[in-house]
């Protein structure tokens, strides 16, 4: 099989995605129905204009997520076997339509890299290639974190022409919430009850000055829920 044919097969849209799109648009009692329809349309427009239509259509889901991120690209197949799913975090819809559009474009670069590029490793998922593509498409993304540093005037104009204004919020009366980092530290205790906090994953070797016991991770704290974003837990309840 030639590489061209392989690429063509990889970029084929699975039928499920057409069904989901129709469903999203038709689900009028779903508060994000209108936004989902707009984001799907923007995806196709950016795909045509920036990726020469090479990307398969992605499945775009919307809803509250960890406050630490604007959205994400789900690598591989998700829990219902769908691939190329992009999630947009509705908790950040207090940002401008234009900014949310840039988030979609950011996730589209991940789709592109997974199909045609060189995906960065775990600690450098946003690699140099990612930043270079972002630069070509009109925004500056930081290597490493992937954080958007700057958006060019022409990309703003382009998004505005596609109906995503830099002056209108994605959801008009929603407060803009800052990106917050999750709690990265975990607690260690000694038998006399003193506590210290250390970076997650760090194997602490320290002795308590009071009881001379070694600091240990208490059993009840070894679950990963210390990193749970409480606001999401409440929203999900």
- For binding to Zn ion (CB under 5 A), which residues are involved? 146, 190, 192, 194, 208, 210-211, 213
Closer of 33 and 189 to Zn ion (Cβ): 189
Least separation, in Å, of the C-beta of 15 and Zn ion? 27
Contact of 42 with 164, CB cutoff 8 Å: yes
Least separation, in Å, of the C-beta of 190 and Zn ion? 3
Closer of 134 and 170 to Zn ion (Cβ): 134
Q: How many CB atoms lie within 10 A of CB 117?
A: 16
The token pair at 135 is 């630069």
Closer of 208 and 231 to Zn ion (Cβ): 208
In sequence order, what DSSP letters do the residues of 127-169 get, joined into one string?
Answer: -HHHHHHHHHHTEEE-TBT--EEEE-HHHHHHHHHTT--SSSB
Q: How far apart, in whole angstroms, are the C-alpha atoms of residue 100 and residue 178?
A: 14
Q: How far apart, in whole angstroms, are the C-alpha atoms of residue 41 and residue 46?
A: 9
Least separation, in Å, of the C-beta of 234 and Zn ion? 26
Closer of 98 and 103 to Zn ion (Cβ): 103
Least separation, in Å, of the C-beta of 194 and Zn ion? 5
Closer of 68 and 192 to Zn ion (Cβ): 192
What does DSSP assign to residue 219? G
Least separation, in Å, of the C-beta of 84 and Zn ion? 14
The token pair at 26 is 């038709």
Closer of 165 and 194 to Zn ion (Cβ): 194
| Closest CB to Zn ion: residue number | 208
Contact of 41 with 60, CB cutoff 8 Å: no
Least separation, in Å, of the C-beta of 158 and Zn ion? 20
69 Ramachandran zone, left/alpha/beta (phi>0; psi -120 to 50): beta
Q: How far apart, in whole angstroms, are the C-alpha atoms of residue 96 and residue 108?
A: 19
């Amino acid at each position: 099989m030639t590489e061209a044919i392989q690429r063509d097969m990889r970029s084929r849209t699975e039928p499920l995605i057409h069904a989901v799109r129709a469903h999203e648009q038709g689900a009028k009692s779903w508060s994000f129905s209108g936004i989902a329809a707009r984001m799907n349309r923007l995806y196709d427009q950016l795909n045509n204009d920036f990726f020469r239509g090479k990307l398969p259509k992605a499945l775009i889901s919307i809803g509250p997520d960890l406050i630490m991120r604007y959205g994400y690209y789900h690598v591989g197949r998700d829990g219902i076997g769908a691939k190329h799913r992009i999630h947009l975090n509705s908790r950040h819809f207090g940002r401008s339509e234009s900014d949310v559009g840039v988030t979609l474009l950011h996730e589209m670069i991940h789709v592109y890299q997974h199909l045609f590029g060189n995906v960065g490793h775990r600690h450098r998922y946003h690699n140099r290639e990612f930043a270079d593509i972002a630069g070509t498409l009109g925004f500056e993304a930081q290597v490493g974190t992937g954080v958007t540093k700057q958006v060019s005037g022409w990309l703003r104009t382009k998004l505005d022409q596609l109906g995503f204004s830099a002056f209108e919020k994605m959801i008009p009366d929603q407060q803009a919430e800052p990106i917050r980092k999750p709690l990265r530290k975990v607690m260690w205790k000694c038998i006399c009850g003193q506590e210290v906090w250390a970076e997650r994953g760090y194997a602490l070797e320290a002795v308590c000055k009071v009881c001379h016991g070694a600091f240990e991770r208490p059993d009840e704290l070894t679950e990963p829920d210390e990193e749970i974003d409480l606001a999401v837990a409440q929203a999900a309840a």
